[in-house]
Chain A
Amino acid sequence: MTPLQTTGLYDPAFEHDSCGFGLIASIDGKASTWLVDQAFSALAKMSHRGGVNADGITGDGCGVLIYRADTWLRTLAEEASIALASSFAAGLVFLDHDASAAASAQSQLEASLREEGLEPAGWRDVPVSDSPCGPLGLSSRPLIRQIFVNAPSELEEAVFDRALFRARRRAELALAEDAAFYVVSLSAATIGYKAMAAPGQLRAVFPDLQRTELLSSAVTFHQRFSTNTLPNWRLAQPFRMLAHNGEINTIRANRNWALARQPKLHSPLLDLSDIGDHVSRTGSDSQSLDNMFELLVEGGIDLLATSRILVPPAWSADENLDQDLEAFYQYYGLHTEPWDGPAGLVMCDARHAVCALDRNGLRPARWARSDDGHLIVASEAGLWDVPEQHILAKGRLGPGQILAVDLVEHTLLDSAAVDRINAQRAPFRQWLREGVVYLESHLIDPALAAEPMPADMLARFQKQFALTCEERDIVLKTLAETGAEATGSMGDDTPIAVMSQQSRSLYDYFRQGFAQVTNPPIDPLRERLVMSLVSQIGLEGNLFDLSVDSARQVLLSSPVLSQRKLRQLLALPHLVDRQVRIDLYYDEAIGLRKALENVCAQAEEAVAKGAAMVLLSDRYPQPGLTQIHALLATGAIHAHLTRKQLRCDCNLIVETGTARDSHHFACLIGFGATAVYPFLSYQTLFDMNQRGEIKGGENETVHEIGRTYRHGIRKGLLKILSKMGISTIAGYRGAQLFEIIGLDSEVVDMCFPGTPSRISGAGFVDIENEYRAQLARSRNPNYTLPAGGLLKAIPDGEYHMYNPPVVGHLQTAVRSGEMRHYRKYADAVNSRPPSTLRDLLQVRDDCTPISIDQVEPRERVLKRFDSAGMSLGALSPEAHEALAIGMNRLGARSNSGEGGEDPARYGTERSSKIKQVASGRFGVTAAFLASAEVLQIKIAQGAKPGEGGQLPGDKVNPLIARLRYAKPGIGLISPPPHHDIYSIEDLTELIHDLREVNPTALVSVKLVSHAGVGTIAAGVVKAGADLVTISGHDGGTGASPITSIRYAGTPWELGLAETHQTLVMNGLRDRVIVQTDGGLKTGLDVIKAAILGADSFGFGTGPMVALGCKYLRICHLNSCATGVATQNDILRRQHFVGAPEMVQHFFQFIADDVRGLLAGLGLHSLQELVGRTDLLRILPGITAKQGKLDLSRLLRSPEANASVRDYCVAGPLAPGPTDLALATVRDTRAAVANKQGGQFRHAISNVDRAIGGRLSGEIARTWGDQGMVDAPITLTFDGAAGQSFGAWNVGGLNLVLNGEANDGVGKGMAGGRIVVRPVEGVQFATQEASIIGNTCLYGATGGELFAAGRAGERFAVRNSGAVAVVEGVGDHGCEYMTGGTVVVLGRSGLNFGAGMTGGFAYVLDLERNFFDRYNHELVDINRISLEGMENHLQHLRALMQAHIDATGSAWAQQLFSDFRDVLHKVWLVKPKAASLAALNSELREAA
């Protein structure tokens, strides 16, 4: 493959991929060509799950792994005159086109095989047709040959496979320099074929695959969607063992720990010492996971165990789990960390074909079993050609479930069967009982608790560690009093740490990673059950060596230690003599670097001599010595011990005064700390408590004051993990999920190796200088704690870009409308001390200016301006409408935000042209979407990427409640992820859904800047978006936890430049409009953003300030005194002073400013400026740190494909609507136009996606959401519907589906009816079979759904009005529901009703375990008694009857005929806040 350019900001390491996958197997072991044909046709039907490249043809790669196709292989060998032994292996090998390079690679592989005692039988050229590959795929096609290897006679196949494995690994090691060499697979049992081609073309690419001799009893297949277009054949899947749909979020930790663990792993079957790194450290995450699978399986752990060890279910939260099984997970958990993240896996080895899902079940996997013994599992239902009447059973894999075919014993193993096998492998439970020690707080000797320090000592520490009053009074106090982080608003307008002229905490240089698009964040509150902070102290053992000795561990419930726990740990008998304390102080004379080298050496020596506990401590200062920051020391020692392969022999405990908020802990743990003891936080809290400044909790003694604080930190840690989509602290530890901004490579390489750090910055000497000053202050008794100023603009504190003078000048300017006042504002901004990266980029002033008349008119500039999404709810209606009116009058666009919009505003000048689709889907209906010019999918927002939002109940007044389909006064939550976007192909689907409902709107995707956002953006473009927004970290008008405001996301300069460079390099730049936002204030900002690659510009805070916002940062309190961000009547009516003219003035000033600057540059339009980085000059800055920044990578101009322009001209890469979608509209044109209704019937298949959406859009545009209720149109379909069936369905549109449907049925439904029922004559019981997929009714606001079968995970999430009857649901049913009614006539999964604040559900509980399956936080469950609840009884009866009428469900009929008995087994699930009486009367009124 071509080495990729990494000199700019684009780095191939950031690439992500995702996909569709599947597996077809004959349980009986019958090999057939039918099975192989089915595999290829199923693969072809998943094209829409894959990516298409810039050339519009080349796919991102697809492949198959075929089990035991011996007949075929023998034929191929025979034709190539290769003599095969009775036992042989075959494999495809990618080689260099250069003949001599290929020959030498071949001979190396042969030599390696011989070393393992194997005999290469010969090579054959694999025929390849070029035409089915696109130009991009073709340009990178390797030479493909096939090798055959004979096994020595009598060699067991397992031994043969291990030898093949070793030979391949040894050859890979020897050929590390040969970029082309790659073995697709080499095994006696399976053979892989893969190509960069569209999935329907795989057979066309490889004529081998068209041979009639090809028959098999099991085939896995995969279709890839990569976020880039740079071709790479080897990353197509399946790999040697598995194919993966999803993303491993913990990949960096997994790779690092795999390296650290290498010396621990000894297989009795296989020598692992000379095969190089156990897992690949580059390439895709899936590839590394495949390496690990292979390693464990070849090392002797079978595939069933390996799957469960590496990708375990959420076992720790399941209280009913079999104890032996729990012990299995716990035992292996002591020696490995999960490979965590969305994962649908299909695997195949000599013994098993397996499909497994990660603990969150975030990827779909539907299975069906036919009456002739075949099993299919795939991303979608409806992929094979087996009539429904021949299906014995069908279902879907739920979170953490596994389904396997034993290809030798010919049995089908479900999760329970696999678990039974695993639980019995060894006496795990007994070993754990003997080995594991739990440190439980209440068992610990209270005498070990920390004593409050003397006041002067505390003051010294506080000064030394640069505590401020602000941090103490806001951060620590809030944590200790409420157990949660403090909330702030209005983003972060301070300089990033490296730009600051103040001494800033080292932690401030670290920006947290977060999931967007390619993987979802987890909801740490509502889906807490999948998460765990359990940390262990002890030594890791050999995974291959099962023994009680490996179970000698201490388990902690979290890595945040109290003093008692720390002392107890250090005093444990088996550790007391095996520990070392390393004091983090050094003599300045030797310098910080040397000091770090010393502590690394100290740690290495101690561990080598047997120390199991390394305590790093800054608790014991010594006179004359300077501190080493705990994070530097932790990172350096962790990296050093990992390199020396000693890390797994010890635990790193950090005792530090530097750790105060959850981000600090996350940094320490993310860079390797096992556990952290934050002594200064506790001591400060003790002191505050003694002085009466904080109230402890009830019955909380002074010693326990830290408990609530710890609780808050733990919550914060969970949030940080969940933002990355990581479930367990074990997967986070050492994962380095940060981007460093502003540290020199000398620091990064030594302390944080491998962490993205792209602009250099402060070196050891700068860090040292800051600590020296801190230490001097600590010795000065007269120095009092500084006020702070990071959160609020305090005079003499940190600089704030929206400081009072800036706000004042801006308001004067927009009120007067006079340019001279704007100039004052702009001068105040443009002449500020360098605070942002762009402040160090100066626009050249040596161009030949042109007259301003020659510059494009103001109106054209204004068209490039949008206001950022701010919801009605966050903003007062007055402010929201003033903004919309102002923008509309300018010909620019305002953004509705995520709170819906009053239909009365549609089509008027009060309407927002951009309609936002966010995770809460509040008020997102067909009419809402149809009223837009731009539909913006908000993936993340600058102030809190990776997190959901919350509108406090105080702000939910009747208007807001109406628009959001909620109840007044009840708080509303937006989930962290879009529940219909867990990966890039899901985003493709949502974009498609939106295009269907509003074919004329541009679809925009809003991302937040971070390292790798460019590749995400490339993926977004490939997913078909028209517009992509890169938000900076500093934006944000909404309320967020303070740590999110301060530590997540990066400056837009980096993200925008990276995005522009990546898109240009991938040939995608001309297909998308790139927008940036985040703290844009003046024309100069716009000019610089355009130069860095933006076509369009978003403004959030600026127009708010123009409307009167004074930057009070109290948006979350509803008390905004300027009436901007409040729903309080008095404040809105009497104190809001904003007017649309102010907004107009603001943007007109900026547009004129831009025009003036363009004239100065001699340019006629903004378009000419896009990407012109030659017009910027880098300034040295005014501080030493600024001077060390290297911004040259921002200005790098990538080599662009000459045919591709570097600004948007070509339009999106979206495939058009399907014929069926067009037909639904064409057929009904008259029925809609005349409002007369009608009946229509069509066949449907899984490639027909979002069917109904296009028609709903037509109806909504013409008549509104409910306008056709009286003249319904009924569409009947036969077959398996593709995703998003009935999306955005409106009143008067009835869809009837005879067959089954995939994910997203009825998403955003506002009215009408959807019926899904099996075809007649099926053999399976409907209540046992899946009929609709995951995330159905997401964000529905009305309508009815009747489905005669089970629904998948996350049914009716955020439903606020739909009525549904289904015959079973998966986990997380009715999550965040705020209205509507759900009837579940079958089993429901875990965590039912989490975050549910409105509506209600009737749940059948035949197994009598629903009590353990619902989420107790916000809902309660009640029996429906015959007395006093007649209304419910009648209601339920009526719904069941309606279900029977619509679907003809036999199961429902049976229940109905037994209604009185069944009633005792039904729970009424309702929000605790709603009283039974109130519900009754509501029902009465409704009836």
Chain B
Amino acid sequence: MKGSVFPELVHGRLDGFEQGAWILEPGSVFRGGARCNLGERVLTVPHGDDPVSRVVRAHELAHIRVSPFLREHTPPDADVTDRALECAEEFRINLILARLGFDVALLCDGSERPGGQRLAQAGAWGEIVCFLLAVLGTGAESEFLRGVRSVQPTWVAGLRSLKKKVNAMVGDLDTRTLGDTTLDDEGRPVGYTNVTVPIARLISRSGAAAAPEGPDELRVFRRSLELDSRRAPSGVFAPVLFDESMPYVVRAPSPGHRRARPSTSGSVMRFPSRLLTDPLQRAFARKSAGAGGVIVIDQSGSMDVTVEELENLLSSAPDALIVGYSHRPGDAGVTPNAWILAKSGRVALQARSGNIGNGVDGPVLQWALRQPRHGGPVIWVTDGQVTDSHDHPCHTLSLECAVLVQRHRIRMVRNLSEVAEALRGRKVAKGVFGRVGRELAAIQSFVPDTG
């Protein structure tokens, strides 16, 4: 490797990175065959004296020059996925290389076309968006798009729109600005914060949206690329992320409420003294009816649940598991979107506000159905609206929830005041409400409820 790369000579950073001796490891020109570990100063690069090896080495040297080296320089961003950040940074590096006169067209190892085909076959729109950015402007870009087009020709228009938007974002920036490592007022490197992060934000939301297929969807997708515009529909729920930081207190049992009632049969003899004292010899125990259940509360919009309301609910059902949910639209898995309000005699110490959107209705209902109910029902406090992870109403997702409601006899109520009645098994929501109600009605019109 003699004389092929000089990482120690890369200078000019202004973010406190300390240059030192680098460890060189042999790498290759193939994708993933070269990398740069700034923390431990390990550089893995190809050592050939061919032009491709030289550009690959220059790519890694550019990382040494401009990429963040501390975790605190890249604080978690709820709108950005790690993968999007990684690919946006690749784009910035390749752009800097091109501006410095390196032939980035050589950055292509032949795997891009079949890679594009495989991703398109798997329907991995999100990864296609990310990978496109990682290879944008290099020799790999057109091959990758060819691969995608051969399987999903309708997706390419959206990808081209994204490319155009990203190129417009960086078109007016000079190379020094692109690679500026000065720390801003919040201690983050300027180039990374002003170039990589906004692009990563764009591709996070674009990749999380559903792939635009028809003219209408493409129009919505293109609009979503504009600054401060609404995200395009994703058509999927977000994964549930529980808030583990909620403080709880142990709730004093309600006076007069008995969780276990004497019974003449059972598996464990709870009250042996009753064999002598009770004429009916009710020595076994059974759980009180109506003491349990799972209450799922849609806290989207401005719906808060106060501590008093929780207390009222628990006075009706002390053993109930109460869970609230609301997804922050577009959140990339950073902001919790579900929280336990009461469980096993413990109750949340403070009220918990929602995050504007629904976004996780289906996954939370499925989670609730897996929980022990202590003889009670699953009650869903909802306005009957269901939205995707970008907070767009979605027919498919509404139907998915309606099927859950119908199949598992989930009781839908409009507000907390109706929960007590629902716990007692009384029908409180007359007629249908919301999209889910309409879907439910449609299902019931085709599939008679035989229960």
Pair from one complex: no
Residues in A lying within 8 Å of B, measured CB to CB: none
Residues in B lying within 8 Å of A, measured CB to CB: none
